[in-house]
Amino acid sequence: ANINPFKMNFLFIAADAISKVVIVVVLAFWAKCSSKGSYCWSITSFSLSTLTNSLVVGVPLLKAMYGQMAVDLVVQSSVIQGIVWLTFLLFVLEFRKTRSDTISMIAESHAVSQLESVKDVEGNEQMVAISKPSFRSLMKMVGLKLALNPNSYACFIGMAWAFVASRWKLEMPSIIEGSILIMSRAGIGMAMFSMGLFMALQEKFIACGPSLTVFGLVLRFVAGPAAMAIGSIAVGLRGDVLRVAIIQAALPQSITSFIYAKEYGLHADVLSTAVILGMILSLPILVGYYAILEFMH
């Protein structure tokens, strides 16, 4: 709500959008055309390669590297991530859950043939096929759930206020701003606490196994920055803005992505491991990226 939308770096935002679209296209192609492809794993891979912990880790680290300019870019990236990409992830997860629940209800009611026997007005039995809900009805149910989800509309309300406040130079009352700040900090703390409880209930520290851990780290620290480099070069970013764009794409995993994965029951063990190990490994990796990019300069 404190960002000025009229002073955003739109080339940077375009580069970020291109990088994520590239990843979405690659994952969709893999899920559809590969024998090992999976739409569920495509969703998780999207989370691992695109969603970063921008504010908690990115702001202090990039401020030390590149100053206030980097902080502004990271905040802009975080805002767009919350409005567009986390909402997109929530939509995909909700669509998957709604579709799965609908199919399960049909399977339970018609476990053998998905047909039911009914009688017409003359008492003769007829076999009537039970059709699955249409794509339109699924979209309607998903849209209604998203509209009622605070994670969806809170971002849009905040962005609307940012436009109004920046245009007419308005200031939010201190009591409201303080309350929002308290809730945001409490939300991060509760998310970390929830993740700690989840990991404590696992038999091993690395709950998903070494192979999936390596897979997640490669997506987080290699695939994400590589896609961002492609998007940045495509729109013509240069200098420190290009370096900040690549480094912020290598920030550790978003905590919110784990909360969503746990809520919707989709590879929460992989996301929790990615968040914890990503936090531990992020500092040397990001410093390495910084040194390499400065050397290339």
- Say how far apart CA 259 and CA 90 lie, in whole Å: 11
Tokens of 237: 């970013």
Q: Write out the H or E segment, with its range, that includes residue 53.
A: none
If DSSP codes are grouped into helix, strand and coil, which group holds residue 9? coil
Look at residue 140 in the predicted model and tell me its pLDDT: 87
Tokens of 235: 């729109």
The answer to whether 281 and 216 are in contact (CB under 8 A) is no
- Say how far apart CA 122 and CA 124 lie, in whole Å: 6
Mean pLDDT across 46-56: 91
Quote the number of domains for the chain. 1
Closest-CA residue to 4 (of 159, 221, 109) = 159
Q: Write out the H or E segment, with its range, that includes residue 236.
A: none
Q: Which of 31-35, 58-62, 85-89, 228-232 has the lowest mean pLDDT?
A: 31-35
Using the predicted structure, report yes or no on whether residue 131 has a pLDDT greater than 60: no
- Say how far apart CA 226 and CA 206 lie, in whole Å: 26
Tell me the average pLDDT of the chain: 86
- Say how far apart CA 24 and CA 27 lie, in whole Å: 5
- Residue 240: is it exposed, middle or buried by C-beta count within 10 angstroms (0-12/13-18/19+)? middle
Mean pLDDT across 170-199: 83
Look at residue 133 in the predicted model and tell me its pLDDT: 67
The secondary structure of residue 253, as a DSSP letter, is B
Question: Residue 143's domain spans which residues?
Answer: 5-106+115-296
Q: Return the percentage of the chain with pLDDT > 90, whole number.
A: 47
HSE (side-chain half, CA atoms, 13 Å) at 14: 9
How big is the chain, counted in residues?
297
The answer to whether 247 and 293 are in contact (CB under 8 A) is yes
Q: How confident is the model at residue 132 (pLDDT cuts 50, 70, 90)?
A: low
Hunting for tokens 């009591």 — which residue is that? Answer: 175
**Which position has the higher pLDDT, 126 or 212?**
212
| Max Cα-Cα span within the chain | 86
Axis crossing angle, helix 135-147 with helix 86-109, rounded to the nearest 10: 130
Look at residue 152 in the predicted model and tell me its pLDDT: 79
Using the predicted structure, report yes or no on whether residue 166 has a pLDDT greater than 50: yes
Tokens of 240: 């420190």
Q: Which of 36-50, 134-148, 227-241 has the lowest mean pLDDT?
A: 134-148
Mean pLDDT across 234-241: 93
Using the predicted structure, report yes or no on whether residue 202 has a pLDDT greater than 90: no
If DSSP codes are grouped into helix, strand and coil, which group holds residue 208? coil
Hunting for tokens 């003769």 — which residue is that? Answer: 124
Using the predicted structure, report yes or no on whether residue 208 has a pLDDT greater than 70: yes
Closest-CA residue to 276 (of 211, 174, 197, 222) = 197
